[in-house]
Amino acid sequence: MGLRAVFLDRDKTILMPKGREKYIYRAEDFHIPDNFIEALRRLIDQDYLLFVITNQGRIAKGYLTEKDVEELHNSLDSILKDNGVYISEYEYCPHNPRGSLYPYNIICECRKPKTGMIDSIRNSYEIEVSNSWMIGDSYKDILAGNKAGLRTIQVLTGAESYTHDADFVEADLVKAVNRILTEK
């Protein structure tokens, strides 16, 4: 028996942009609601491993750097740890073939909807995909999750309209976690 995991998209899934910001680039740009943290802790309590997988293709366009992403993840991680939530890995894809910045402007295997980030985690941990989940706001998250064999939940906290490809569509992360804990 492998381990159960929940793969989480980051922006507009677990983190909300602060104020009128549209994008989350740096630690000061995000807000994480208390009930989202509480929801993640309920997954930890049920022995799910948590992984954050995020496309950060705007690195390839020069809007932020890998250092910014790592600082943000450190800042997020300390907030979560203080609340009993342990993320096993943070993975990001810095690539975008439409960017201008070498060496990031390439076609890679990690940018969602490709499954590279999920595959590499799945290979390092013994993840049983049929009992594991992908939660994200974007159709790219859902396509990646489906291709990797995960069950998928689209949350409607992003601007995207809903996709027919997700196994479930829920209002937000709290509802998505409720779904996982009732479906298991």
Three-point CA angle 143, 148, 154, nearest 5°: 40
Per rule CB under 5 A, count of chain residues that contact Zn ion? 5
Whether the Cβ atoms of residue 49 and residue 127 lie closer than 8 Å to each other: yes
Can 165 be counted among the known catalytic residues?
no
Count of other CB atoms within 10 angstroms of residue 168: 16
* Residues numbered 73-132 forming contacts with Zn ion, rule: CB under 5 A: 93, 95, 108, 110-111
Instruction: In whole angstroms, give the CA distance from residue 53 to residue 50.
Output: 10
* Closest to Zn ion by CB, 76 or 110: 110
Can 9 be counted among the known catalytic residues?
yes
Instruction: In whole angstroms, give the CA distance from residue 99 to residue 5.
Output: 32
Closest residue to Zn ion: CB criterion = 108
Pairing state of beta strands 30-31 and 16-17?
A: antiparallel
Q: 103 preceded by cis ω (within 30°)?
A: yes
* Closest to Zn ion by CB, 107 or 159: 107
Over the Cα atoms of the chain, what is R_g? 15
Site string for Zn ion, 38-77 (x = CB under 5 A): ----------------------------------------
Q: How far is the CB of 108 from Zn ion (least distance, A)?
A: 3
Q: How far is the CB of 55 from Zn ion (least distance, A)?
A: 8
* Closest to Zn ion by CB, 56 or 146: 56
* Closest to Zn ion by CB, 88 or 105: 105
The site for Zn ion (CB under 5 A) is made up of: 93, 95, 108, 110-111
Active site residues: 9, 11
